[in-house]
Amino acid sequence: MFNGKRIMVTGGTGSFGNAFIDIVMKKYSPESIVVFSRDEKKQHDMRLSFNNPILRFVIGDVRDNESIDSAMRSVDFVFHAAALKQVPSCEFFPMQAVMTNIIGSNNVINTAIKNHVSKVVCLGTDKAVYPLNAMGMTKALMEKIVQAAARNNNNDTIITSVRYGNVMYSRDSVIPLFVQQIKNDSPLTITEPNMTRFMLSLEDAIDLVLFAFTKAKQGDIFIRKAPACTVLDTAVALKNIFKSNLSLKIIGIRHGEKIFETLMTKEELRRSEDEGDYYRIKMDNRDLNYDKYYTDGDPEESHLKDYTSHNTKRLTVEEVENLLLGLPEIQSILKKGGGDLFNNLCEIF
């Protein structure tokens, strides 16, 4: 599906961009891939790592419409991953989140329509559902921008989005933090023991994006079904893997943090389609004829519930261990560690 095509990945130097581009180049033969980001150091490292002439590195910012327009000319497909994603930093600097996640996304979508890009896939987050922090609020508005553009678009550009929770072992997430604390021989800091999170690997996230790319109709939102576990069970599983006896320290919830993740509201569930491992939420295509809202309401389906990390399949500690053992980062540590994993972990780092 990408053979001979020109692809652009905004925020392409991040975890998703690196893994996505690696998979695309191994499985397909694209004509070119534009890696668009504002981090020249990461671009330099990525250029050396991949060493592939089809990669075109462009320094730019989604906030700057001119830099996007220049990079997107003659592009067939856009994968929009550029965002401010850290909850605490967005809480302290909300206008920065607005400029990147809202205005920047609007720039990307409008430029794609202007340049007759065939498909745009925007990466969203569970935090956009019932948002209580600045990051979630700005990503929720990104979804609204996607929906509005899809609804009003008379162009051939298909605009869709995906929604997923925290990716295991992603930068600044809890799993590498716990590993680092084990390495430092310090207590594992837990915000709230019963806090739950969906357990999604980076490969699962990429599969979701590719599924959305192949299946999307105008304005669809796609969600990947996933199991969940508590933060406490994650910590215990890592202690078991590395044979650690370190204590656990409860520190309380961070700024703007949720007890559980919600990937889909019950209202969205009513207009969703079950696609096996995925949900497709069809675009709300109601028009601005307000009169019918007074006469034609939607029937309430009281049996429906939000799709959350509290009511999805809950993993046991043993199942969490097995899931973590499948992560490349954990496998790499274990291969280097040899017998006494805990002591050797300190030496590895």
Please state, in angstroms and rounded to a whole number, the distance separating the CA atoms of residues 120 and 160: 6
Tens digit of each residue's pLDDT (9 = 90 or more) over 151-172? 988 778 999 999 998 899 887 7
* Residue 317 falls inside a structural domain: no
Q: What angle do CA 275, 143, 86 make, to 5 degrees?
A: 105
* Residue 38 falls inside a structural domain: yes
For residue 136, pLDDT over 70 is answered with yes
Q: Does 127 participate in catalysis according to the annotation?
A: yes
Q: What is the pLDDT of residue 290?
A: 67
Please state, in angstroms and rounded to a whole number, the distance separating the CA atoms of residues 306 and 344: 44
Percent of the chain with pLDDT over 90: 80
CB burial of 250-271 (b: ≥16 within 10 Å; e: otherwise) equals: eeeeeebbbebbbbbbeebbee
* Residue 252 falls inside a structural domain: no
For residue 313, pLDDT over 50 is answered with yes
* Residue 242 falls inside a structural domain: no
Domain of residue 101 covers: 6-164
* Residue 248 falls inside a structural domain: no
| Among 230, 225, 200, 340, CA closest to 275 | 225
Q: What is the pLDDT of residue 301?
A: 64
Count of alpha carbons within 13 Å of 46, Cβ hemisphere only? 28
- The catalytic residue among 127, 139, 225, 258 is 127
Low-confidence winner among 16-30, 71-85, 308-322, 331-345 (lowest mean pLDDT) = 331-345
In the chain, the amino acid numbered 36 is F
Question: Per the structure block, which two tokens stand in for 251?
Answer: 């520190």
| Among 318, 337, 174, CA closest to 237 | 318
* Residue 129 falls inside a structural domain: yes
Rounded mean pLDDT, 136-142: 97
Number of domains in the chain: 1
Q: What is the pLDDT of residue 253?
A: 87
- On whether the CB atoms of residues 4 and 30 are closer than 8 A, the answer is yes
Q: Kindly indicate the confidence band of residue 25, based on its pLDDT and cuts at 50, 70 and 90.
A: very high
* Residue 154 falls inside a structural domain: yes
CATH label of the domain that carries residue 122: 3.40.50.720
Please state, in angstroms and rounded to a whole number, the distance separating the CA atoms of residues 328 and 235: 18
* Residue 148 falls inside a structural domain: yes
| Partners of 78 in beta bridges | 8, 120
